[in-house]
A and B are shown apart, each in its own frame.
Chain A
């Protein structure tokens, strides 16, 4: 009986918690996401920086920091003439638009809100988990027999995003 009560207590407490992130997936995404962003036609050619926000809940700060470190260590120098700048933010309707956002874990309602904001402001949104694309995020990473960029074709069409043909050729479509 005591065991049952204790377990129920733990289930209750669990509602306050957050997810674990797979470090290998974070490593793959840290390498591939910046290149996917740069192959979008919406990136301003004249700017010498590429601004990326990692959108994360406060409880996920440690994972977000790790992700940021991975991106910056992969691209310490300029790529395609741009220096990558990464910031960690909790989601609000940002006044200053970044070039892209990378979204870590949120509940479905919040993911929909983030996706709507990103799509209407033509900000490229990349999801840690491809499943989040079902809430309207633009892209993620497909891990199957081969690893591929994963693009949300419905969002591309609806919000008129366009990408370099090189990326389109290598991608899988959701």
Chain B
């Protein structure tokens, strides 16, 4: 009897053990938790304000590239500056001289040290992308410099090793785009090869510039081509290798220095090549390592027609020609330790950047006739930079997510960055998260971020960038409060309030010298929602208000205070989909010295239809259906500016075809 009782007592334990052995559900759930965290499915639980954009949804709304995708994010304004450099403004903080966003592709930073540049990746076609993860706001505690106003991480289809795709897209404005991602997977090895090429032949006539002696028409050349090739390799699930090459050839849209181009434009090639090897072993069940080593280069080579003869009153146009190349080696070693109530990450980063043999020439535009190709007249010492640039950086970082109980958790983070040539920085972070229940969560966050002066800001020695080695790093302190209500996967709403103070903002004075100063305070509100309508449609929208002011209470110009998006996605039939995107950008104030009226607000409406037949999708889209007047602010340069600002393309049609398969 006693033995029978013991046997009965043991039965569930034996059954339990048998089930555990057979199903190994615990391991599957651990993996699922990691995937949920990595893909931000559980964004209620992340100690940051995060947006995740899924390319499959964006595509059906007619979004064609990263640039367009970012427009759908609360608080993000995209524009294009003189010279065609694409600009991202996040919460009213705009990249003007240098880019201030940490921009990553498959987790690898692509920012160039010369100027933080990343704009040449913003054209990346949506067909190459699986999702885009965006941290809205500062994030230096984990990501270091450049994560000053936000972090953008593009996860490509190649990195996920799931779907292969071949596609082509053509538009009425003369752009064409072809590309593919091809996966070859075996049990222990996954290889993805991806490539794309795109060409934009667009140019437009322009006839209103403030200082031209004659207001004759001229052409803004907005041509560019992109060529990219990438290899993503995964071995035994924990060794990853990425090599990605991108060349962006561009004309000088609208001219550099806000001066129009009268004759043929010149060509500048930006080339980025990134390589990273990553090994992520499990040391014990709860302790894992992430070891990364990388090498990347960025180069800029080409010529630019800087000022026309008609503007200078000289016999020849002013031509500049240069060659710059930087190389960077880095390692990033981190340990992740999972305790019962703590998730700890600690790591060390080391990097060295070198830029040598920079050249820069200008022609003698005072002496006629100076051939455009004659670029050897004036060679500027060291190419307009310091002779040998070497920047060594190391950083130590720690992040601890403390789970007090089911409802409360906190994140404490600290990063120390040491630069051989710039100010050292501490970036602390404190976050408190409260989950009222499965549906409602609150976050209170404080974070300090920094941006070390870029190489051109420190070592530039010639107009238009005269640097200063004594420049301090820009810093930004942000406090934010976020609330999210998630009814289900398809219906949620969020609200976020933030207040930021920037210090040592780096700006360029009228004599082209770079200086610290012009500190600002900003506060704002971001509202967003996604709603399944009558259980059959998906409507998503957001609105953001940003008030960004200098210490004297005057408004920071050039960015819109009000931004809004409304996106409607629905299937008319199981193989026929429609997507609509309505976007509003509020008026944009001018610089103090600019007497023109504020630039008007605009609203655009895009409509896209997608037809699917098995693995093939055909799309037709019209962007800016009502041909709204979309212009970006043309700032005042030393030679005046475009009176009618930088006009963008109006109504545009495009068609695409893609074949996507497992």
Q: A159 contacts the other chain (Cβ, under 8 Å)?
A: no
Q: B44 contacts the other chain (Cβ, under 8 Å)?
A: yes
Q: Would you call A10 and B536 a contact (CB within 8 A)? A: no
Q: Which of A124-152 contact B (CB under 8 A)?
A: 128-132, 141-149
Minimum C-beta distance from B650 to chain A (A): 15
Q: A113 contacts the other chain (Cβ, under 8 Å)?
A: no
Query: B625: which A residues are within 8 A, CB to CB?
Result: 6
Q: B578 contacts the other chain (Cβ, under 8 Å)?
A: yes
Chain B, interface size: which category?
35 or more
Query: B536: which A residues are within 8 A, CB to CB?
Result: 14-19, 107
User: What are 9 A-B pairs with beta-carbon distances under 8 A?
Assistant: A13-B570, A14-B539, A15-B533, A18-B571, A28-B35, A129-B488, A129-B490, A130-B488, A145-B45
Closest partner residue, chain B, to A69 (CB atom): B662
Tell me the B residues contacting A by CB distance below 8 Å.
12, 15-16, 19-20, 22-23, 25-26, 28-29, 32-33, 35-36, 39, 41-42, 44-45, 54, 56-57, 60, 403, 409, 435, 438, 487-490, 532-539, 568-575, 578, 580, 582, 603, 605, 612, 625-626, 662
Q: A85 contacts the other chain (Cβ, under 8 Å)?
A: no
Question: A19-B538, A39-B19, A145-B409 in contact; A7/B582 too (CB < 8 A)?
Answer: yes
Q: A58 contacts the other chain (Cβ, under 8 Å)?
A: yes
User: B568 contacts which of A10, A148, A149, A170 (Cβ < 8 Å)?
Assistant: A10
Q: A156 contacts the other chain (Cβ, under 8 Å)?
A: no
How far apart are the CA atoms of A158 and B230 in the complex, in Å? 56
How far apart are the CA atoms of A23 and B130 in the complex, in Å? 10
Q: Would you call B487 and A131 a contact (CB within 8 A)? A: yes
Question: A3-B603, A39-B25, A166-B16 in contact; A17/B36 too (CB < 8 A)?
Answer: no
Closest partner residue, chain A, to B573 (CB atom): A59
User: A22 contacts which of B41, B435, B570, B605 (Cβ < 8 Å)?
Assistant: B41
How far apart are the CA atoms of A10 and B606 in the complex, in Å? 12
Query: B39: which A residues are within 8 A, CB to CB?
Result: 24
How far apart are the CA atoms of A59 and B612 in the complex, in Å? 12
Chain A, interface size: which category?
35 or more
Query: A14: which B residues are within 8 A, CB to CB?
Result: 533, 536-537, 539, 568, 570
Query: A132: which B residues are within 8 A, CB to CB?
Result: 488
Query: A22: which B residues are within 8 A, CB to CB?
Result: 41, 54, 489
How far apart are the CA atoms of A107 and B488 in the complex, in Å? 13
Q: A153 contacts the other chain (Cβ, under 8 Å)?
A: no
Minimum C-beta distance from B540 to chain A (A): 10
How far apart are the CA atoms of A51 and B537 in the complex, in Å? 31
Q: Would you call A3 and B571 a contact (CB within 8 A)? A: no
User: B25 contacts which of A24, A144, A170 (Cβ < 8 Å)?
Assistant: A170
Q: A167 contacts the other chain (Cβ, under 8 Å)?
A: yes
How far apart are the CA atoms of A146 and B533 in the complex, in Å? 29
9-residue interface stretch from A30-38, A42-50, A94-102, A115-123: A30-38
Closest partner residue, chain A, to B18 (CB atom): A166
Q: A93 contacts the other chain (Cβ, under 8 Å)?
A: no
How far apart are the CA atoms of A105 and B536 in the complex, in Å? 8
Query: A62: which B residues are within 8 A, CB to CB?
Result: 574-575, 612
How far apart are the CA atoms of A16 and B19 in the complex, in Å? 45
